[in-house]
């Protein structure tokens, strides 16, 4: 296969600049010493990073997002792994319907999910509670875990399980010692993608938070729609740093492209 020519390399450069531009701008603005948004910044100052410490609502929101992401991704993993094992291992009556149901949050517009959760939770009096938020996030992120675990299950060698069973291992032992280690890359990749999705989620969350459970994206969103000061940029810069660290970690562990395409680990 031929390598990329000069035109292709130029295209790639412009494209990379387009993708990185808005992100670089946010990080640059965060370092401004001024009280307004300017780019490039007239100097380098940590003023607006220090300002984060004076605005504890952003730190509280970041903690809530972190806890929410971990809890929702874990609940969704515990529910999705058995379902993926069932769906991934051959046909049974209702299998396609089950799979379509568990993947359906990807098909329904998020704003529709948001109002549906709001309507339901407010009738139960659970609107704005952490538990309500966590369960709704678990539903939104289940498809991501399911897809990756399904891909791992498809590559599973059943004969190893059969061997364990014929040697007298009990079902739970087979799962713990044979099945789980084999699908673990898919489970971990799914958990991480689910965590990041939950951590970034805005459209559904904005409907079902209250002031005490406001997540970081919602806090940033409501701040941006009212005023734009360099504080949102510095908070965003910290969020970008956190995401980039996660991204590199995910890429080393699993491969960013395969994780997002939803393929199993080769």
Partner 1 sequence: MSARATRAWLLSTPALILFAVLLLVPLLMTFLLSFNSFDFYGGIGSDLSLANYAEVLGDSYFYEIFGRTFLIALITTLICAAIGVPQAYILYRMSPLWRSITVLIVIGPLLISVVVRTLGWAILLGNKGVINTALIDIGLIERPIRMMYTSGGIVLALVHVMVPFMILAVWAALQRQDPAVESAAESLGARPATIFFRIVLPQAIPGVLSGSLIVFSLSASAFATPAILGGRRVKVVATTVYDEFLNTLNWPLGAAIAMLLLASVLVVMLSWNRLVERRFGEVFQ
Binding mask 247-266 for partner 1 (x = CB under 8 A): xx-xx----xx--xx-x---
23 binds partner 1 (CB under 8 A): yes
Comparing CB distances to partner 1, the nearer of 118 and 185 is 118
The two three-digit tokens of residue 205, written as one number:
């969350």
Instruction: Give every CB contact of residue 76 below 8 A, 6+ residues apart in sequence.
Output: 137, 138, 139, 141, 142, 145, 194
Using rule CB under 8 A, residue 1 touches partner 1:
yes
Quote the CA–CA distance of 257 and 215 in Å, as a whole number.
28
Max Cα-Cα span within the chain: 72
Binding mask 150-189 for partner 1 (x = CB under 8 A): ----------------------------------------
130 binds partner 1 (CB under 8 A): no
- Tell me the DSSP string of 10-62: HHHHHHHHHHHHHHHHHHHHHT-SSSS--SS-SS---HHHHHHHH-HHHHHHH
Of residues 69 through 108, those in contact with partner 1 by CB under 8 A are: 78-80, 82-83, 85-87, 89-90, 92-95, 98, 101-102, 104-105, 107-108
d(CA 168, CA 142): 33
Compute the distance between CA of residue 51 and CA of residue 46 in angstroms, rounded to an integer: 9
Which CB, 93 or 167, lies closer to partner 1? 93
**50, 67, 119, 158: residue in contact with partner 1 (rule CB under 8 A):** 119
Cβ atoms within 10 Å, residue 244: 11
Q: Which is nearer to partner 1, 171 or 181 (CB)?
A: 171
* Of the candidate residues 41, 217, 231, 234, the single one contacting partner 1 (CB under 8 A): 217
User: Which residue in the set 59, 66, 202, 253 belongs to the binding site for partner 1 (CB under 8 A)?
Assistant: 202
Other beta carbons within 10 angstroms of residue 161's beta carbon come to 19
Beta carbon of residue 92, minimum distance to partner 1 (angstroms, whole number): 4
């Amino acid at each position: 296969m031929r390598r990329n020519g000069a035109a292709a390399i130029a295209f790639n450069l412009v494209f990379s600049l387009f993708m990185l531009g808005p992100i670089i701008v946010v990080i640059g603005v965060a370092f401004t010493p001024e009280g307004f948004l300017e780019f490039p910044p007239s100097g380098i100052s940590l003023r607006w990073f220090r300002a984060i410490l004076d605005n504890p609502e952003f730190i509280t929101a970041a903690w809530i997002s972190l806890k929410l992401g971990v809890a929702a991704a874990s609940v969704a993993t515990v529910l999705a792994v058995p379902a993926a094992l069932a769906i991934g291992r051959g046909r049974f009556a209702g299998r396609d319907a089950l799979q379509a149901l568990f993947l359906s949050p990807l098909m329904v517009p998020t704003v529709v999910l948001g109002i549906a959760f709001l309507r339901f939770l407010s009738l139960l009096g659970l609107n704005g509670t952490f538990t309500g938020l966590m369960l709704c996030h678990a539903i939104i992120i289940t498809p991501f875990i399911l897809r990756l675990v399904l891909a791992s299950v498809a590559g599973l060698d059943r004969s190893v399980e059969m061997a364990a069973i014929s040697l007298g291992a009990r079902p739970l032992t087979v799962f713990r010692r044979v099945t789980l280690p084999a699908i673990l890359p898919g489970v971990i990749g799914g958990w991480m993608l689910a965590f990041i999705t939950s951590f970034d989620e805005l459209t559904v969350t904005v409907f079902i938070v209250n002031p005490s459970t406001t997540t970081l994206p919602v806090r940033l969103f409501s701040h941006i729609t009212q005023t734009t000061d360099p504080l949102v940029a510095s908070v965003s810069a910290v969020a970008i740093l956190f995401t980039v660290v996660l991204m590199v970690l995910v890429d080393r562990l699993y491969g960013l492209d395969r994780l997002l395409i939803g393929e199993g680990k080769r």
